[in-house]
A and B are shown apart, each in its own frame.
Chain A
Amino acid sequence: MKTRRDFLRELIISVGGVTALTACGDAPVVVATATGEPGRFYTPEEMELVSRLSELIIPRTETPGALDVNVPGYVDGLMADWASEETQDAHRRALAEIDRRLSADGSFMALDETEAERSLAELDRSAFEEAAEDLGGYRTFKGYVTRSYFATEGGAQEELQWVGVPGRWDPDVLVTDRQGV
């Protein structure tokens, strides 16, 4: 049987902006495309669009935002390494559709922060509150962004207060502002 170390070694393609912890003493591994590196799947234009959308969806607050933890690189890795050609094509089409919808009154990328936020919020409303059929691609994209964010160390530990080894079961915890999950 292949050892975990062998397995990890084979998977290391590039070490991205997020550094993994080394729970078992192995080398850190993250297959996300590094911040600032060209996408392995995305074109430069797509990478810019994904970066902007990600940060609008999950901005930096008191905790890291999507760009701080390199969500665009994570999703780029997801598309390059996990997705089939069919999924890749669907994702590319979804980004084009999102860009088209957001750029109806001029380039989305040229909008200032407030305008961009307003524009995306409107599209999000259509996608989730009206469940617009042609925005299924956006819903999937938002899922990738959100899952990627919470799969990073920053998203999981700092924002979600994820605890690796809970060690006990409490079936009834009153919600306060900040508690582990």
Chain B
Amino acid sequence: MTDTAASPSVSTSAVSTSAGRGVADTVTNAIATPEKEQPYGALGLKDDEYASIREILGRRPTSGELAMYSVMWSEHCSYKSSKNYLRQFGQKVTPAMKKNLMVGMGENAGVLDVGEGWAVTFKIESHNHPSYIEPFQGAATGVGGIVRDIISMGARPVAVMDALRFGAIDDPDTARVVHGVVSGISFYGNCLGLPNIGGETVFDSVYQANPLVNALSVGVLRHEDLHLANATGAGNKVVLFGARTGGDGIGGASILASDTFSEGGPTKRPAVQVGDPFAEKVLIECCLELYREKLVEGIQDLGAAGISCATSELASNGDGGMFIELEKVLLRDPSLTAEEILMSESQERMMAVVAPEKLEGFLAVTAKWDVETSVLGEVTDTGRLIIDWHGEEIVNVDPRTVAVDGPVYDRPVTYPTWIDALQADSASALPRPTDADTLRLQFLTLLGSPNLADPSWITDQYDRYVMGNTALSTPDDGGMIRVDEESGLGFAIATDANGRYCQLDPYRGAQLALAEAYRNVAATGAVPAGVSDCLNFGSPENPEVMWQFGQTVEGLSDGCLELEIPVTGGNVSFYNQTGDVPIHPTPVIAVLGVIDNVAKRVPSGWQDDGHNIYLLGITREELDGSAWAGVIHDHLGGRPPSVDLGREKALAGLLHAASQEALIDSAHDLSEGGLAQALAEAVLRFGVGARVWLGDIVERDGIDTSVALFSESTGRVIVTVPREDDVKFRGLCEGRDYPVLRIGVTDATAPGIEVQDQFTVTLDELAARHRSTLPAAFAN
């Protein structure tokens, strides 16, 4: 792998040197010098990929074409290892799943009809590798990139959230990454004025040298404002606007995102982009005004692979032809070569297609916002993407060969040698507490463990109020935003993934993540409507990783089919490993739901005294892969909890009916840490205590007290019900045949949580355990 380990600055200078000082390699030159050696290896292309480029073109590529193909055919941009699998999402669909899907996979972001003429677009995307090298800028530009995807659909971005995975909390390097990533998200997201309404934070040594930063954004639009990024209409102008193009992020797509970090390799810092959220905020407002005034046909954001990607994708999705004069690109650094301009990943740039008669109006709007603009060329009907550099042709390609018809690999797949032994090592053999003191101690140990502790030290650095439409946010089960100020129409969204489950069984692990996100959204009172996923894996060149990947996609697509909610888009991130140790498979699943009026929303904790606490669902002895096994016994083995998506669907229906009739005033999903964690969080949400008894669960489900507290069985939620609605609520559960058990009562006079015949923990002690872990690790 020495070729791909070469530093990007070396790689690009290799290209420019081959072109000669300041004079680019032209098409004519390429025809004249067919045997010229080209540094395709340093740009991440394999021998056979280079050979097929030569075959497509019928000659050697120019250095500019080579730059374009290399970034666009990288794993990050081409999905060459995952494409064959991802097709399942398009195949496993029912008419019900298509009903509200306005735009599906393959566009910048999927779009769902949420009713009343409104649509919602959302997507989650990875920015993992940049965030390890340069955590602050890596995470910041991750937010910036996903927000530009949302704008390019014609939507106003209205929320962000982040799913984060860091190394062990006590590793000396973790604080560097956490501080950088959190302040980067805070810096960029806050400055954009987008409320951050949820997300997850997980610490695990498997992410030590490979943190995961998955950024999600949601936008809203009226149906008629939907735009697709394509270049149609010969003669329409192609306009680049926003920040100037600089030397940052060159080769980022091919070299950073598609290569495993090797120890002792040269630093890759120059290939990380640098973000300017102020420029992006201005760009958002500018784009929204351009849409509002109907001055653009379409807008494509510039992300990975910069101008190479934007021109080839716009042309491929449209009439197929485009002519660009590359020297018209406004530069931050005038010494950039044509190849570097094609590859630059400078942030806060957009490319628009504008009808000639609207160009004047377009330029007036960009001038109003002080956004620099240059007309680069126009749409043609030639079927060729032609790029000139000072009057000489340096690119002449069929854009589809760059953007669409890249290589596709059927990577070798092997059933992992270690997985049978891992699955045989069940947590059922671990000693379980039998006395009240040990139960109490383990309850508190879990509550303060890094992945179950209060993440406020992180989430308090994000603005959750801006825009004034936040109906729910962390720590509630899902974030919720009002879409329509008159009717109260809104959406809820939650992300989930449990890498430990996925390591034990990736098929089931993917469905568990889906089920949990689905349940979280249902717990807020919303109806789940669509999915976006960010699939984080090790190297696709490792056949065991490809087995995990295949299992995950199958589990997820089967799960979505059963729940009848479509996958609207997402992202695959491979090469998440250091050396040859891959991360746990980590499919982060975002589920978005719709609520007819956010006034009916349900929080995750109780505020009122004397309400009954009910547990919905059955508890089994399911401790394999649990937080209890991990935290108390440092154990990972066995089979993760079973999933019954039919039951999840029934539970979601029940929760929706109960929230519509205002029968419940809180609902909290049971997942990591089980009932113990859910009860503690529900008490801490508003500081109202509770008295709880476990005897009925133990008796009905045939389990012991520790299992009742710590099992992670699915399909379970705790809800509180005002006494006057008790009969109605029980009737609702019986009518829908969902198991329900009264397990306690809220009690404002209780000192905190009182588990009958077992133990009591005061509110102060709960709060101290829950809230001190992250500040102790990271607050200076």
* A, B bound: no
Point out residues on A near B: beta carbons under 8 Å: none
A-contacting residues of B (Cβ < 8 Å)?
none
